[in-house]
Homo-oligomer: A and B are copies of this chain.
Amino acid sequence: MSEHDAILFANAAFYAAFSAHDARAMENVWAARKPVSCIHPGRTAITGRDAVMRSWQAILGNPEVVRITPHAEKVHMQGDMAFVTCVEQVVIASGPQFLVATNIFVKTGAIWTMVHHHAGPAEVDPRSVQNPRKPPLN
């Protein structure tokens, strides 16, 4: 697997954990020994693994979010750090919504793990995500 694909894989693993409401998988997605931070839509930054994980436990416990899939992923790599921009299609009971995200990863050994997630509302043409690819983990 190329580094590019390994980073996309890590990005997909994040959305798979999110969609599965799997707090344990979400913990594994995030770096365990690097400083982490997270900006949820409309909020300011949360810093520190404990606080970030508590925020995910609250979000993953919300049954309203049915599924979230990444689209239009773009990978940027610089040494042992990389970031991915993507559109997030969030399927909730009332229909799909779109967000835009920046996800930052670091490489530890052979594994890319998340150190930062920033998502916020975006105007997205739904036709641009009409044929979503399945994330590789599903």
In the assembled complex, A2 has its CB within 8 A of some CB on chain B: no
Q: Which residues of B contact A120 (CB under 8 A)?
A: 41-42, 100, 118, 120-121
The answer to whether B100 and A37 have CB atoms under 8 Å apart is no
A123 interface neighbour in B42, B78, B106, B121, Cβ under 8 Å: B42
CB-defined A-B contacts under 8 Å, sample of 30 = A35-B76, A37-B74, A37-B85, A39-B100, A39-B102, A39-B122, A42-B121, A42-B122, A43-B100, A43-B123, A44-B87, A44-B100, A44-B122, A44-B124, A47-B74, A78-B79, A78-B81, A79-B80, A79-B81, A80-B81, A81-B81, A83-B104, A85-B118, A100-B120, A102-B116, A102-B118, A104-B104, A118-B120, A120-B120, A120-B121
